[in-house]
Amino acid sequence: MFPRRKPIITAIEIGSSKICVLVGESQETDENIVVLGRGEVSSSGAVLKGEIIDMDRAITLLSNALDQADEASGKKISESIFIGVGITNSGIASSQNIGSTLTSSPDAVISADDITAAGKNAKPVHLPYDRIQLDSYCSYFLLDEGRRVSDPSGQISRKLDAYVHVIHGDANRVASFTKLINDCGIGDENNVYPLFCGTAAAYCILTDEEKSNGVVFVDMGAGVTEYVVVHNSGVMASGVVPVGFEHIANDLSLVLNLHIDTCRKMIVDGTITTMITQGRGFIEQKDFNGRDVKIPLLSFEKIIDERLRETFEIIKSRVAKEVPLRNLSAGGVLTGGGALFPRTADVFHSVFECPVRIGKPFDASGAITNLESPRYSTVWGILKCSNFHLRTGRVESGGITDAAANMLDHVAGNLWHGIRNVWNSLKV
């Protein structure tokens, strides 16, 4: 008897600075996934602020990345039964939906059926025709005396309210990503699944303690910055700010009269960081007219800090509307390429006035092991989330099942912990 083949999963990140592909093999005995191959190319000229601006070029670049990953994995992509593609920008928005039910037991003890009913009632109302739901996540439950709980099982309450965080995007812009995958000849509407990049990255970066105690997760890339807020292991807020480190390079170029390629290079290759570390007073470069100029290092620092501060202030303002900042005792977690720049964490700490750490993949395994960098948090998260959806059967033709309608899926377990604990943490 031939051994059953292990499922093959492909994860695709189409970012503003790079297009990255991971091919993984799902394991039968545990929730791990082994990375078999990776492909990576620059996305310059094809993607801007997380949006595809040149489809033909994007097809060429993604095809190159797919070829690299396919070759490295031993020609496994064609066997993929789940292809997860990360979605960002694309008019991403979120809402908090509420579902209510009266408890069915005469003694008002909340049962599994009550939780299921509340979850089904929390399903979003029909979105406008031009919107598409990407994900839904547990936030919390509210008992009739106004008390919030993460798991209402066995509690006494005549009424139960379920709060569900729903993420949705512009249908046409999301469809552009899935069309790109289809045009490259590796998937169709039955096995290509869009996932919000922010929650995908958070899934593989945040610790159980951080999710429980409350945390602001920020993924800063080249074109956009995504954020996710988790408190008492429920998702309270999420969103996208269309600003990334490419905007910082643009700011430096405009203010200092330098070519943007020069500014971009100084950020990426660590020139500015090195100068700051060494305590240098000036940076010598050529301006737009080719003249040698000496620019005070303080000018670079001030411009960078102002853009970072503005971005984090926007996120802080949005977050404060959804959850008191004092409840986020685990502080902040930064990831993405922008997290590699030393000033990013310093400015975040100054704005949010809380501790912050740099997050990166911590459990990547397989033939490709050099993924332990904030730059790969999103694509690794897409692969891990895809594996979760596949293993738990939370997949339907054309999309992922709605978590709000499936509160008590003990087979699916828990997205964050992988245990049978209803609503005790983030679920999809």
Q: Per residue in 262-290, pLDDT tens? A: 998 888 888 888 888 888 888 888 888 88
Question: What are phi and psi for residue 123, nearest 5 degrees?
Answer: -55, 140
Residue 423 pLDDT class (50, 70, 90 cuts): very low
Per residue in 30-52, pLDDT (tens digit) is 678 889 999 999 998 899 988 99
pLDDT of residue 365: 60
List helix spans (H) across 74-141. 112-121
Cβ atoms 165, 415 nearer than 8 A: no
Looking at residues 224-249, what average pLDDT do you find? 94
Alpha-carbon distances of 300 from 18, 254, 262, 306, 343, rounded to whole Å: 25, 12, 13, 10, 11
Residue 407 pLDDT class (50, 70, 90 cuts): very low
Looking at residues 219-228, what average pLDDT do you find? 96
In this prediction the pTM is 0.89
Residues 253 and 388 reside in one and the same domain: no
Residue 402: pLDDT over 90: no
pLDDT of residue 250: 94
Report CA Rg, the chain: 22
Q: Is residue 112 part of a domain?
A: no
Q: Is residue 253 part of a domain?
A: yes
Cβ atoms 167, 196 nearer than 8 A: yes
Looking at residues 101-111, what average pLDDT do you find? 91
Alpha-carbon distances of 209 from 97, 117, 140, 321, rounded to whole Å: 26, 29, 17, 23
Q: What is the mean pLDDT of the chain?
A: 86
For residue 13, give its domain range.
8-90+170-206+360-400
Q: Is residue 152 part of a domain?
A: no
Would you state the structure tokens that stand for residue 322, as one six-digit string? 């959804």
Counted residue by residue, the chain has a size of 428
Count of domains for the chain: 2
Residue 162: pLDDT over 60: yes
Residues 15 and 85 reside in one and the same domain: yes
Residues 82 and 22 reside in one and the same domain: yes
Residue 2: pLDDT over 60: no
Q: Is residue 86 part of a domain?
A: yes
Compute the distance between CA of residue 231 and CA of residue 293 in angstroms, rounded to an integer: 49
DSSP class of residue 424? S
Compute the distance between CA of residue 256 and CA of residue 174 in angstroms, rounded to an integer: 37
Compute the distance between CA of residue 80 and CA of residue 7 in angstroms, rounded to an integer: 7
Q: Is residue 318 part of a domain?
A: no
pLDDT of residue 370: 76
Per residue in 294-325, pLDDT (tens digit) is 999 999 999 999 999 999 999 999 999 999 99
Per residue in 342-389, pLDDT (tens digit) is 899 999 999 999 999 999 987 766 555 578 899 999 999 999 999 888
Residues 75 and 180 reside in one and the same domain: yes
Q: Which residues pair with 228 in a beta bridge?
A: 217, 238
Compute the distance between CA of residue 417 and CA of residue 428 in angstroms, rounded to an integer: 12
* Percentage of the residues of the chain whose pLDDT score is greater than 70: 88
Residues 190 and 251 reside in one and the same domain: no
Cβ atoms 131, 171 nearer than 8 A: yes
Residues 261 and 199 reside in one and the same domain: no
Q: Is residue 128 part of a domain?
A: no
Residue 135 pLDDT class (50, 70, 90 cuts): confident
Helix or strand holding residue 256 (H, E): helix 245-256
Q: Is residue 313 part of a domain?
A: no
Compute the distance between CA of residue 258 and CA of residue 43 in angstroms, rounded to an integer: 23
Residues 19 and 84 reside in one and the same domain: yes
Compute the distance between CA of residue 231 and CA of residue 375 in angstroms, rounded to an integer: 25
Cβ atoms 40, 19 nearer than 8 A: yes
Residues 16 and 76 reside in one and the same domain: yes
Q: Is residue 67 part of a domain?
A: yes
Residues 198 and 258 reside in one and the same domain: no
219, amino acid identity: D
Residues 69 and 176 reside in one and the same domain: yes
Per residue in 45-85, pLDDT (tens digit) is 899 988 999 999 999 999 999 999 999 999 889 989 899 99
Residue 93: pLDDT over 70: yes
**How many angstroms separate the first and last alpha carbons of the chain?**
36
pLDDT of residue 287: 82
Report the CATH number at residue 76.
3.30.420.40
